[in-house]
Structure 1
Amino acid sequence: MSKDNPTRSDNLAWITGSDAPEKRVLDLGFMPLTDAAPLIVAATQGFAQPYGLTLNLKRQASWAGLRDKLIVGQLDAAHALYGQVYGSHLGIASTATPMAILMGICQNGQAINLSEPLKRAGVTTIEALRTRVHQKGAKLIFAQTFPTGTHAMWLNYWLAAHGIDPLRDVSSVVLPPSLMVEHMASGRIDGFCAGGPWGALAVDEQQGFTLATSQMIWPDHPEKVLATTADFAEQYPNTARALCMAVLEASHFIEENEENKRSTAKLISGRDYVDAPLSAIEPRFLGHYQDGLGNAWLDEHPLRFFDHGSVNMPWLSDGMWFMTQFLRWGLLKDDPDYLGVARTVQRLDIYRDAAGALGIDVPENSMRSARLIDGSIWDGSAPADYARSFAIHAIDPLRRSTP
């Protein structure tokens, strides 16, 4: 793999000066997922060393374990779920720990899969699924990967957008992504939402089919981030900036051409990383989808790692959106200071320094706008109103009006 990269700074003299990394050897946590690619490439393909860093990759078995190790300092930084970081910061299902998001790692690329028994029963459309879940009898069981994580939010949002209450009409369980296919094959779950390659692997092994992708819910949605504790970012600011620069360069490298994408897919398929067949990784890595129902397409919003830096920008509105969904689904009792919390967690200062040193444009406006699957517009304005605007929700009626 060649790492020649036009974003590379010509002047790295600061590495040995006052801006040198305070901590040079970092333990970097990741989950065995396709979208961990930038961290794997940064650590193994020579992108960290020019910035004075050595990155030791530490594969994790579950998102909960990754969270705990990051919080107590057993990991210095990690590939993390966007919402997971905010859940830790706000103390949802764990002790509140000030957290930091240094940059986005990816957008898009997750999938909602249903089981082969549902396929045989003709439940192959959202309309058929809605009919099935509203029938009397045992509830369908859907798995997601972490209560405050992206997959729980995509699954909930998608179901609710189609008239299915995720808190009342179905049951939800938490599983590590790598166990999704096994549990669906054994009949313990009826569907799941997870990152790649597990949705594609379910199709390849004829254990399920992809009914929706996350980019169908929100084109170019926020997904994984490079996270640390706030203490780490404050104690080692030069290290945090250098780490951002290494991962930014790796992200650009992956998307530079198709050859790089293919070589990266092959690298991450190895047993030390994702440990899955290349055939389940490469096609969707390149944007080529087939859903197990006879449909195939080239996705307009594929898994992205760079896109001229727009993927990596820690948009304030992205972090705020997850908090609106936490309130919507009863994970928060009251409105947080949406903008204030996002300004604390999203370390725009570190990202701007890192991106600026590499000549990557950074938008002046830290908000962005998107239209989601239900037609709603999210742009970061009026978050309390937005959280209460949905017909299906868990918000106490006494708190329905805007504070």
Structure 2
Amino acid sequence: MNTSDPIPADRFGPPEKTHIRLGFVALSDVAPLAAARLLDLGRRHGLTLELCRQPSWAAVRDKLLSGEIDAAHALYGLVYGVQLGIGGPQADMAVLMVLNRNGGAVTLSNALAEVYRATGSLKEAFSSLGRPPVLAQTFPTGTHAMWLYYWLAANGVHPLRDIESVVIPPPRMVDALAEDQLDGFCCGEPWHALAEARGAGSTVVLTSGIWPDHPEKALASRRDFVALHPNTSRALIRTMLEACRWLDEPGHRAEIAPLLAAPDLVNAPRELIEPRLTGAYDQARFPDALPVSFFDGGKVNYPRASDGLWFMTQYRRWGLLGRPGDDDAVAEAVNQTALYREAAALAGVELPDEYRRDVLCDGRAWDGEAPRLYLDGFDLRA
């Protein structure tokens, strides 16, 4: 681990913009934004924060692009989809930091989950339907789509040919599953907990079981916002680092759960939010469950450019991104590592290693220094 070089606090001036509108979608991992508001953590950095709930990730995208919100709790893959022009209108985007790792899942209908557990074969479970299963994710280039596709492919199911993939906002997933409009879905919590509580479905895999400690939500903005408001952006990173650190301290997730349950945030029962937010999974089903992580000594939050490269390998794998390009240059422009390093130094937060090396659920090793080699190794692809 490398410690951030200390930077004098007076090196940077006051925030250029002090009132910040932050977009989000109703998910438990909006907890850093909720904690920042609860504790008024922006005040010491000259910021006031307004949380702006959005009905869908497409709405988050559109309001970021229009300037109606300044920054957002956003799907990592949403940022890259917009940057590349494959997730809506193209715009130059910025990942300021990572807000959390883990925290999502795949839930199937009870009938499908029963066959899957009995046979150990996802293909056999889907065959029992007599038609392609309808599986929902939350944004075409988002994290949930990529986790779902990766898990399906690891189980021998082609995500572009063997299923019908649809986009639904997370809060609508459970109703759609209960009404037999869906056979399963991938998104964040607490919607999997709610599906089980309503008897609508059963969680079969956690996203941490697809890629352990995967990057999930990012603090995102347009890149011109960062260029025009560097001090504001730096102050916002510091504020969110403090919120993430607070959430990882004992007892604080249980403390934030009632706030998350409020109608203007997640609007779901506390008793469904709190267990999976605190890592209380069914150990019989998920003995290796990794809880959602917000800080972990700063290991969570560094916006590695190589994390962006992982998403681009998957876009190329599934034919979402076909044109040649300098993927390294794109990732280095999107991920604001220099700005983050400055903010982390001021906050006394350590920097993790620049590259990650992980083994995913298909047994393939991801090496952030060798994305092309990783991409070339996939047999199942578009």
Q: Which TM-score tier does this pair reach, normalised by the shorter chain? A: over 0.9
Q: Offset at 1:99?
A: 0.4
Q: Describe the SS at the equivalent of 2:205.
A: strand
What's the offset of the Cα at 1:299?
5.1
The Cα offsets for residues 168-210 of structure 1, whole Å up to 9 and x where unpaired, read as 1111100000000000000000000010000111111111101
Equivalent residue pairs, number: 377
How has the CA–CA distance of structure 1 residues 137 and 297 changed in structure 2, closer, same or farther, with 3 Å as cutoff? closer
Aligned residue in 2 for 1:166: 159
Deviations 1:28-61 (A, max 9, x none): 0011100010011112311011100001000000
For the 8 Å contact 2:8–2:346, the answer to whether it is kept is: no
The residue that corresponds to 2:258 in the other structure is: 266
Question: For residue 237 of structure 1, what is the amino acid of its counterpart?
Answer: P
Inter-partner Cα distance in structure 2 for 1:95 and 1:19: 33
| One-letter code aligned to 1:144 | Q
Deviation at 1:296, TM superposition (A): 5.2
Cα offset, 1:12, TM superposition: 9.8
Q: Does 1:256 align with 2:244?
A: no
TM-score when scaled to structure 2? 0.94
2:210 is the alignment partner of 1:221: no
1:59 is matched by which residue type in structure 2?
A: R
Q: What are the superposed Cα offsets for residues 38-96 of structure 1, whole Å, 9 maximum, x if unpaired?
A: 01111231101110000100000000010010011111000000111001001104221
1:312 is aligned with what amino acid? N
Q: What CA distance in whole angstroms lies between the structure 1 residues aligned with 2:12 and 2:192?
A: 46
Correspondent of 2:226 among 222, 228, 233: 233
Shift of 1:151: 0.4
Per-residue Cα deviation, 1:327-369 (whole angstroms, up to 9, x for no partner): 0011001343221111100000111111110111113x42111
In the TM superposition, residue 128 of structure 1 has moved relative to its aligned partner by: 3.7
What is the aligned-residue identity percentage? Answer: 47
Equivalent residue, structure 1, for 2:370? 382
- Relative to 1, partners in 2 of residues 1:240 and 1:290: Cα closer, same or farther, differing over 3 Å? same
Which of 328, 341, 351 pairs up with 1:352?
A: 341
Partner SS for 2:339: helix
- Structure 1 residue matching 2:52: 3-state secondary structure: strand
Which residue does 1:88 correspond to in 2?
82
Q: Given residue 23 of structure 2, which amino acid in structure 1 is its aligned partner?
A: G
Q: Tell me the TM-score normalized by structure 1.
A: 0.89
Whether 1:67 aligns to 2:61 is yes
- 2:150 is aligned, of 131, 134, 157, to 157
- Alpha-carbon deviations, 1:144-184, whole Å to 9, x = none? 00000000000000010011111111111000000000000
Q: Is structure 2 residue 21 aligned with structure 1 residue 27?
A: yes
5 Å-filtered alignment, 1:3-402, equals: 14=10, 19-119=13-113, 122-124=115-117, 127-134=120-127, 137-257=130-250, 259-290=251-282, 295=284, 300-363=289-352, 365-394=353-382
Question: 2:12 touches 2:231 (CA, 8 Å); kept in 1?
Answer: no
Which residue does the alignment assign to 2:3? Answer: none
Q: Distance in 2 between matches of 1:18 and 1:213?
A: 42
Does the 8 Å CA contact 1:41/1:264 hold for their aligned counterparts? yes
SS in 1 for 2:237: helix
Contact 2:206–2:289 (8 Å) recurs in 1: no
Q: Partners of 2:330 and 2:276 in 1: how far apart?
A: 34
- 1:157–1:119 CA distance, 2 compared to 1 (3 A): closer
AA aligned opposite 1:340: A
SS in 2 for 1:20: coil
* Contact 1:38/1:250 (<8 A) preserved: yes
Q: Where do 4+ consecutive residues of structure 1 move more than 6 Å?
A: none
> Unmatched 5+ residue regions in structure 1?
1-10, 395-403
SS of 2:120 mapped into structure 1: helix
| Aligned counterparts of 1:125 and 1:12: Cα–Cα separation in 2 | 60
Shift in Å, 1:234: 0.5
Contact 1:78 1:227 in 2 (8 A): yes
**Distance across 2 between alignment mates of 1:155 and 1:172:** 10
Aligned 8 A contact 2:70 2:221 in 1: yes
Rounded to whole Å, the distance in 1 between the matches of 2:323 and 2:86 is 12
CA contact (8 A) 2:281 2:289 kept: no
Provide closer, same or farther for how the CA distance between residues 70 and 126 of structure 1 changes in structure 2, counting only shifts above 3 A: farther
Partner amino acid, structure 2, of 1:113: T
Partner of 1:401: none
Q: CA deviation at 1:127?
A: 3.1
Q: Provide the C-alpha distance between the structure 2 equivalents of 1:297 and 1:163, rounded to a whole number of angstroms.
A: 22
Assess if the C-alpha contact under 8 Å between 1:12 and 1:51 holds in 2.
no
SS in 1 for 2:319: coil
Using the alignment, how far apart are the partners of 1:359 and 1:125 within structure 2? 50
* Secondary structure, aligned partner of 1:320: helix
Checking the alignment, whether the CA contact within 8 Å between 2:367 and 2:374 is kept in structure 1 is no
Aligned amino acid, residue 331 of structure 2: A
